[in-house]
A and B are shown apart, each in its own frame.
Chain A
Amino acid sequence: MSVFLQFLFSGLTTGAVYAMVGLGFNIIYNATSIINLAQGEFVVIGGLMMWYFSEAMKLPFFISAILAVASTGLIGLLMERLTIRPVKKSDLLLMIMITIAVSIVLRGILMFKFGKDPYTYAPFTEGEPIHIYGAFIQQQTLWVIGITLFFIILIFLFFNKTMLGKAMKACAVNPVAARITGINVDKMVMLSFVLSAMMGAVAGIAVTPITLMEYDRGPMLAVKGFCAAIMGGLGRGRGSVIGGFIIGILESMTAGYIHSGAKDAVALVIILVILFFKPAGIFGSKTIADLRRF
């Protein structure tokens, strides 16, 4: 029982990150139909910038966190301005390629700036791990899960209760119609990149004290987040959150009970099985998937 709980907690931690990455995918996908494969780099940038501001520059915790999130948001903004906006035609393959190329450049910059070593900093709160039925749970794990849930709720409120969020959703449903009703679609696309970059940064900041962070973490995070988003059905925020947690927990169970090397394969096998039996994801609707171009 205690071993099982231990695996569950570690699964929840990684799952929380996948959920945030998956949600980041969805924010951009909903506004643009683009899958941004540089999403994983946002998480890495968030973690490494936090280290830079709090450890290298010795700024107080809150100020460093705000600066790290803001600077990652700025990178999201630059990415949209410089590489997404100039390409007018919406070609699925071209867009995927561009985001991959951006992720290569971002990795290059990160390696140049931070080198290949992993970085970490002190957890948010000092203190002993908490015992639950013989399993240990680090305080930082609680922070990660708490922050994830907090931001997920915030995002849902934003999309469903605020005018700006509803305008962004409108762009996803029909950009032309949204433009006719007076919504500035270009601005919404830009905003979606900033928002999802900031989501990634928050995940990175929270998880770095547990998992450490190095420059080349991005691609694997992006693949897993992508799986989470697909599992939940693209465009379904709630689905991608649940998908992220499911993948995280199954991964940690596989690593613990079966074979540690098979951990990365499990998420992918599950995704394949789900796609084959329910092509629009667990929570996705086949009709909606058919109606969207990609």
Chain B
Amino acid sequence: MQITNRNIFIGFSIIIIILPLIFTSSYSLSIATFSAINSLIAIGLCVLMGYAGQVSLGQAGFYGIGAYVSSILSIHLGLPVIFACIVAMIASALSAVILAIPALRLKGHYLAVATLGFGEIIHIILNEWGPGGPSGFGDIPRFNLFGFVFDTVMEYYYLSWFVVMIVMAFSINLINSRFGRALRSIHDSEIASNAMGVDVPKLKIKAFVLSAVFAALGGSLYAHYVTFISPSSFSLFQSVLVLMMVVVGGITNLWGAVVGSIIITILPELLREFKEYDILVYGIILILTLLFFNKGLVPIVIEKLQKVKP
């Protein structure tokens, strides 16, 4: 069976379009929307980790910058949401550059702790000095474009998945371009790619900035969807969740990031009936996935399908 990115892309788009016809409740559409928002952060992290080979435990920091900058600008300066969102992405990109220049000299555990430190510092800043402090603030305007307000769950569902598919198309093209090949060469050997004339530090910074921009886009979409944000959504736990999404879905495949996001977002909802024990069941499922499907679900499924003769 032929599995190309193009086929998956078309198949996925069809599923997205018809899904609201099957699951009509606003509850399930809302979860699907959150899956889309998480996908954005996960796709960025997947490019950074799966292709450039750099670990980040601080994506929630960029996610938080995106959400806060975008909502503060749209509330206090009255900027149209789309501009606020773009400024938020630029702000996140700038902070990524500032962090990346020193941090990407580090590797392995040292890089992990540097990014973790960054994410936690952003969380603490939002907690102490952000508007509303630990309890956050509300009245964030809904996302709107040319006077059209996305105020039903269904509209927001289509908006967010539309954005995901654009980001996905962009990332797939990027990975298969000269830039993507150079990234993968860094993943395999920094020294060898340096010798081949790849500007390793510059490329790493670019990948890092890209992941920060995607995370900020996700943050902005999140803020203008829930219209109320507080620092607790942007803690270390969120960074860990995004990491889980990428690993569970399969770090070597961009579609893995999307599938992983959907699974990790839906899982807690399915575990509702376990009440307080949900965290226990959640942890056990994670361990089992990591132990037995540690290549990630998408690469395993693709491998299986490719063995099937037409």
Q: What does the 1/0 interface line of B38-78 toward A look like (CB < 8 Å)?
A: 00000000000100000100000000000000000000000
A264 at the interface (CB under 8 A from B): yes
- Note all chain B residues with C-beta closer than 8 A to A226: 113, 116
Whether the pair A272, B117 counts as a contact (CB closer than 8 A) is: yes
Q: Is the interface of B mostly helix, strand, loop or mixed?
A: helix
> Which of A251-272 touch B at CB < 8 Å?
259, 261-262, 264-265, 268-269, 271-272
A175 at the interface (CB under 8 A from B): no
Q: What does the 1/0 interface line of B233-251 toward A look like (CB < 8 Å)?
A: 0001000100110010001
- Note all chain A residues with C-beta closer than 8 A to B117: 227, 268-269, 271-272
Q: How far is the CB of A239 from chain B (nearest CB, A)?
A: 13
Whether the pair A104, B251 counts as a contact (CB closer than 8 A) is: no
Whether the pair B106, A98 counts as a contact (CB closer than 8 A) is: no
Complex Cα spacing A294 to B111, Å: 10
Q: With A98-B287, A261-B127 given, is the CB distance from A219 to B49 under 8 Å?
A: no
Stretch at the interface among B86-94, B152-160, B275-283, B302-310: B275-283
- Note all chain A residues with C-beta closer than 8 A to B281: 108
Whether the pair A294, B108 counts as a contact (CB closer than 8 A) is: yes
Task: Return the contact of A93 from the options B114, B247, B282 (Cβ within 8 A).
Answer: B247
Complex Cα spacing A230 to B282, Å: 30
Task: Return the contact of B110 from the options A102, A261, A264, A275 (Cβ within 8 A).
Answer: A275
Complex Cα spacing A261 to B251, Å: 36
Query: Which of B105, B108, B125, B277: most chain A Cβ within 10 A?
Result: B108
B232 at the interface (CB under 8 A from A): no
Whether the pair A268, B290 counts as a contact (CB closer than 8 A) is: no
- Note all chain A residues with C-beta closer than 8 A to B243: 93, 97, 100
Whether the pair A94, B114 counts as a contact (CB closer than 8 A) is: no
Q: With A83-B291, A94-B247 given, is the CB distance from A275 to B128 under 8 Å?
A: no
- Note all chain B residues with C-beta closer than 8 A to A104: 279, 282-283, 286
A161 at the interface (CB under 8 A from B): no
Closest chain B residue, CB of each to CB of A100: B240
- Note all chain B residues with C-beta closer than 8 A to A87: 290-291, 294
Complex Cα spacing A191 to B283, Å: 25
Q: What does the 1/0 interface line of A223-240 toward B look like (CB < 8 Å)?
A: 100110010001000000
Q: How far is the CB of A266 from chain B (nearest CB, A)?
A: 9
Complex Cα spacing A92 to B281, Å: 25
B97 at the interface (CB under 8 A from A): no
Task: Return the contact of B279 from the options A108, A265, A269, A276 (Cβ within 8 A).
Answer: A108
Q: With A93-B49, A104-B279, A109-B280 given, is the CB distance from A262 to B128 under 8 Å?
A: yes
Complex Cα spacing A107 to B283, Å: 9
Q: What does the 1/0 interface line of B93-109 toward A look like (CB < 8 Å)?
A: 00000000011011111
Whether the pair A276, B103 counts as a contact (CB closer than 8 A) is: yes
Complex Cα spacing A96 to B110, Å: 13
- Note all chain B residues with C-beta closer than 8 A to A272: 102-103, 114, 117-118, 121
- Note all chain A residues with C-beta closer than 8 A to B124: 261-262, 264-265, 268
Whether the pair B279, A111 counts as a contact (CB closer than 8 A) is: yes
- Note all chain A residues with C-beta closer than 8 A to B287: 83, 98, 101-102, 105
Report how many A-B pairs have Cβ atoms within 8 Å.
126
Task: Return the contact of B290 from the options A94, A227, A269 (Cβ within 8 A).
Answer: A94
Query: Which of B55, B105, B117: most chain A Cβ within 10 A?
Result: B117
Complex Cα spacing A271 to B118, Å: 10
Q: How far is the CB of B264 from chain A (nearest CB, A)?
A: 12
The size of the chain B interface, using a CB distance under 8 A, is 41
Q: With A100-B240, A111-B279, A268-B117 given, is the CB distance from A230 to B110 under 8 Å?
A: yes
B19 at the interface (CB under 8 A from A): no
Closest chain A residue, CB of each to CB of B122: A265
Whether the pair B109, A294 counts as a contact (CB closer than 8 A) is: yes
Q: How far is the CB of A19 from chain B (nearest CB, A)?
A: 17
Whether the pair B121, A105 counts as a contact (CB closer than 8 A) is: no
A187 at the interface (CB under 8 A from B): no
Whether the pair B236, A223 counts as a contact (CB closer than 8 A) is: yes
Whether the pair B105, A279 counts as a contact (CB closer than 8 A) is: yes
Complex Cα spacing A97 to B239, Å: 12
B112 at the interface (CB under 8 A from A): yes
Whether the pair B279, A107 counts as a contact (CB closer than 8 A) is: yes
Q: How far is the CB of A236 from chain B (nearest CB, A)?
A: 13
- Note all chain B residues with C-beta closer than 8 A to A83: 287, 291
Q: With A104-B279, A105-B280, A268-B120 given, is the CB distance from A97 to B108 under 8 Å?
A: no
B174 at the interface (CB under 8 A from A): no
Query: Which of A29, A94, A97, A280: most chain B Cβ within 10 A?
Result: A97
Other than the given A93-B49, A269-B121, A276-B102, 7 more pairs (CB < 8 A) read A94-B290, A94-B294, A107-B283, A112-B276, A268-B124, A271-B113, A271-B117
Interface residues, chain B, with chain A CB atoms under 8 Å away: 49, 55, 102-103, 105-110, 112-114, 116-118, 120-121, 124-125, 127-128, 236, 240, 243-244, 247, 251, 276-277, 279-284, 286-287, 290-291, 294
